[in-house]
Chains A and B, each alone.
Chain A
Amino acid sequence: MMKEHQQYLSEMVKELKPSGIRKFFDLAASIKGVISLGVGEPDFITPWSIREAAILSLEEGYTSYTANPGLLELRQEITAYLQKRFGVQYNPVDQVIVTAGASQAIDLSFRAILNPGDEVLIIEPAFVSYAPLVTLAGGKPIPVSTHHSNGFKLTPEQIENAITSKTKAILLCSPNNPTGTYLNKEELTKIAAVVEKHDLLVVSDEIYAELTYDDEYTSFSSIEGMYDRTILINGFSKGFAMTGWRLGFLAAPKPFTEQMVKILQYTTMCAPHMLQHGAIEALRNTYHEVESMRRSYRRRRNYIVQSLNLVGLDCHTPGGAFYVFPSIKKTGMTSEQFAEELLLAEKVAVVPGSAFGESGEGYIRCSYATSMEQLQEAMQRIKRFMESLESKESRVQKLSAKN
């Protein structure tokens, strides 16, 4: 006789927490007329010439597997791009792997470097996948909190405090999801010193590299002495508006990529052939479109940061990505309560900061990857919501003064 299905399942998988975002998605999806500031992807559709290149590829019958690490032609474009944009040099033949999104690249990295019990520092608030992927690879995610007081920037001391003899690597994400925080060259150099001192590796998630608004981007791999310690992860999802294509890539020292290719070979073979042709076109001919999208996000960032501060939600100015992370602490609510009440009262969806780790509590993530018209309307609604909270509060105060 068969036992309960639960009893057949892997303990590790059962213990994985479902993403805090999922819960909110279900609630928001059940309400009509919602303006969503909860979307973690561009509001642009992939530039036409990229789509056309993939269509052409299908028409011409490119429907076979490619080499495991991807088409050499694409890897060559990737290394040329990394060299030109970030000044880092990789060999297209054996140092680059095309993956199913940055997501798979992160997964490959952890699987390739972690032994059971190895610790990986996850800088929180953090993208929801990192910790579960470390766990699935047999490692132990160690959260490191950053703080609003310095714009959620990671400091060398915060790393030092979390390091043990088991620490293997740090996952760096700049610009960050959900805070939008960007680390400049000077800040990265200070972090590099700690990495060197403790002989660590860095998995550098640079998926938002094209979306910085005040400074030129610095890749962690370009910091002196860090090339050999870095697995550079990037992709097409955000900068090129290609999330649904599931195309990303990683670049790393050859001893790492050699091992990762084995994993890729046995798990997914390669990224889809015709879509890789789209990616070649993206890197070759569409950079002006990336720049125009960046300009558009920058305007919206300026607008939303100032508008949120004007309605009394304290918000730092993030240097990149398309998220702002205002504090809702003054309302006295938890971030989940706030997000839920805002959704029910004004039909604006935001993501509670607690979904991104403990230090996200007291904040909400607002994505400004949505049209200016929608942002303007959302700000009106948030303003009304904040006013209703204030008048409620003053009523309560008056009542308690009477008693």
Chain B
Amino acid sequence: MRLSSEELEVLSILEENHRIPVEDIALMVNSSVEDVTAIIKKLEDEKIIVSYPALIDWSKVVGKENIVAMIDVKVTPKRGVGFDDVAERIYRFPEVTSLYLMSGAYDLSITIEGKTMSEIARFVSEKLSTIDNVISTTTHFMLKKYKHDGVIFGENNDRDRRMVVSP
């Protein structure tokens, strides 16, 4: 879908921070609150804006630390539907947080989150590898998150170092 420059501008503002009030977005794009509201509604209806989740660093919350693994999966594509059918069978599991079809040595890349290592092991052996067409899986456990979706985790060293007033 082709978007107007104003729609693109609204998207880019929301992508940076979706909690910014519509009134302020309207000022930023030189438009009216009504127009911006309509643009946002259209983008939501078209599923261009898919959702507004918060990016949370769960590793900082005691008792809420998650174990994350990335799994490379090789599959034989099905006649007629290709990879989509297998993909759908995999992404329906709520513990799967992302799923991509990849070029290269394997076909599907899965990100999965669980409470414990054994929970993830169970998913791989009982759910994933038992799906028809899944030929092999390789599981990598994530040790530390440095950057996610363009956001750097942990200590932010990019604080403002400028003088308060300058010419």
A and B assemble together: yes
Chain A residues near B (Cβ < 8 Å): 19, 21, 24-25, 28-29, 34, 36, 38-41, 43, 45, 127-129, 177, 295, 299-300, 302-303, 306-307, 349, 351, 372, 376
**Across-interface contacts of A129 in B (CB, < 8 A):** 167
Residues B24 and A302 in contact, CB atoms below 8 Å apart: no
Known A-B contacts A45-B158, A295-B12; the reply to A300 vs B28 at CB < 8 A is yes
**Across-interface contacts of B162 in A (CB, < 8 A):** 39, 41, 43
Say what secondary structure dominates the interface of chain B: loop
**Across-interface contacts of B160 in A (CB, < 8 A):** 43
Interface string of B13-45 (1 = CB under 8 A from A): 100010010001001111000000000000000
Instruction: Tell me how many residues of B have a C-beta within 8 Å of chain A.
Output: 18
- For B29, B160, B166, the residue with the greatest tally of chain A CB atoms inside 10 Å of its CB is B166
Cβ of B164 within 8 Å of any chain A Cβ, yes or no, is yes
Residues A25 and B17 in contact, CB atoms below 8 Å apart: no
Q: CA–CA, A36 to B164, complex, Å?
A: 6
**Across-interface contacts of A372 in B (CB, < 8 A):** 17, 20, 24, 28
Residues A303 and B164 in contact, CB atoms below 8 Å apart: no
Cβ of B163 within 8 Å of any chain A Cβ, yes or no, is yes
Residues B27 and A38 in contact, CB atoms below 8 Å apart: no
Residues B166 and A303 in contact, CB atoms below 8 Å apart: no
Q: How far is the CB of B4 from chain A (nearest CB, A)?
A: 15
Q: How far is the CB of B131 from chain A (nearest CB, A)?
A: 42
Cβ of B165 within 8 Å of any chain A Cβ, yes or no, is yes
Residues B30 and A302 in contact, CB atoms below 8 Å apart: yes
Question: Quick one: closest A residue to B31, CB to CB?
Answer: A302
Residues A302 and B28 in contact, CB atoms below 8 Å apart: yes
**Across-interface contacts of B163 in A (CB, < 8 A):** 25, 29, 39
**Across-interface contacts of B158 in A (CB, < 8 A):** 45
Cβ of B9 within 8 Å of any chain A Cβ, yes or no, is yes
